[in-house]
Amino acid sequence: MIDFFFQVLWALDATLRVATPLMLCAMAGIFSERSGIVDISLEGKLLSGAFVAAAIASLTGSAWLGLGGAICASVLMSLLHGFACITHKGDQVVSGVAINFLASGLTVILGIAIFKRGGQTPTLSSDERFRPIELWFVDILDNLPILGSVYRELVSGHSLLVYIALICVPVASFILYRTRFGLRLRAVGESPIAVDSAGVSVTWLRYRALIVGGVFCGIAGAYLSISHGANFVREMSAGKGYIALAAVIFGNWRPISAFWACLMFGFLDAITSRLQGVDLPIIGEIPSQLMVALPYIMTIILLSGFIGRPSPPSAIGLPYRK
């Protein structure tokens, strides 16, 4: 019984670690897509953020500079996306895919050029990374039977970036639904012409949405390479950007719902490694490839309208022309 309890606790703990970049990317996706810009480039922003964070942390020895660099790189990618599909009214999916290719190639080329390790960055020492932090009262609460362990194992002991990601979700929700910026952002994704005729600049509004998304993706990238991991490995984003996009759709473009979708996908990922080679009763061994594909399969089922009907922003994917 106790054993099972700790198994669950560790699985949830792993879920949180895996879901952190998903949450940040999903919030980025929500901001961008709610403003009417398809954001398939989450993956590329995440990857470039991860590379720049590891590279700068390794060169300067400062995790904070790494984080700052990651945010700058990711915002830069966002601006490129915006330049192509807001200013020049290009196809948003094409631009997004191009950014993903660009990030995939550029990180490896720069990595080889700077560090000469086949695209990897040197392994960072622990003070060049965001280390797990112990929250207050851990020792006091330890005396409590179940709550103590939950607090020590699950709530406490994560890196600062995990807590930032968790805070980002209610903050994103607050911005979207309670602020002027959020109202205009939601409006521009529904009907840009209505926003324009209300005397608000569609272009600037959409750029701002993309910049906010860039900041979120940058933090997510830094988490991958200088908090969860200790260096940059080529293609280390490994489709997390796409999964985050699936979570956005699953959450019906709402921050809180998307947060739950991220946790669900994170949980699937966390138990995949645990279930490898384990014979389950009745079903037997589950192929790990199936588990990896599961979020995509679920998204396709959702999009084909079997479970409710997703309601994307009305003007998504359409460049605004007067």
Residues that bind another protein (CB under 8 A): 178-184, 186-187, 190-191, 193-200, 311, 314, 322
Which residue number, 125 or 314, has a Cβ lying nearer to another protein?
314
Residue written as token pair 């699985």? 11
CB of 58 to another protein, least distance (A): 39
Is the distance from CB of 185 to CB of 205 less than 8 angstroms?
Answer: yes
Residue 126 and residue 63: Cα distance in Å, rounded?
10
Are the beta carbons of 95 and 38 closer than 8 angstroms?
Answer: no
- Given phi > 0 = left and psi -120 to 50 = alpha, else beta, which region is 235? left
Minimal distance in Å, beta carbon 71 to another protein? 23
* Residue with Cβ nearer another protein (153 or 196): 196
46 vs 202 by CB, closer to another protein: 202
Smallest distance, another protein to C-beta of residue 181, A: 7
For residue 243, the cross-strand partners are none
Q: Which two tokens stand for residue 317?
A: 């994917």
- Shortest reach from residue 195's CB to another protein, in Å: 7
CB-CB contact of 134 with 157 (8 Å): yes
State in angstroms the smallest separation of the CB of 247 from another protein: 21
Which one-letter DSSP state was computed for residue 88?
S
Question: Which structure tokens are listed for 74?
Answer: 């990711």
Nearest CA among 237, 244, 238 for reference residue 52: 237
Nearer to another protein, 194 or 256 (CB): 194
Output 67 or 258, the one with its CB closest to another protein.
Answer: 258
Phi, psi of 133 (to 5 degrees): -115, 145
Q: How far is the CB of 201 from another protein (least distance, A)?
A: 8
For tokens 């792993």, the residue is 14
By beta-carbon proximity to another protein, the closer residue of 83 and 181 is 181
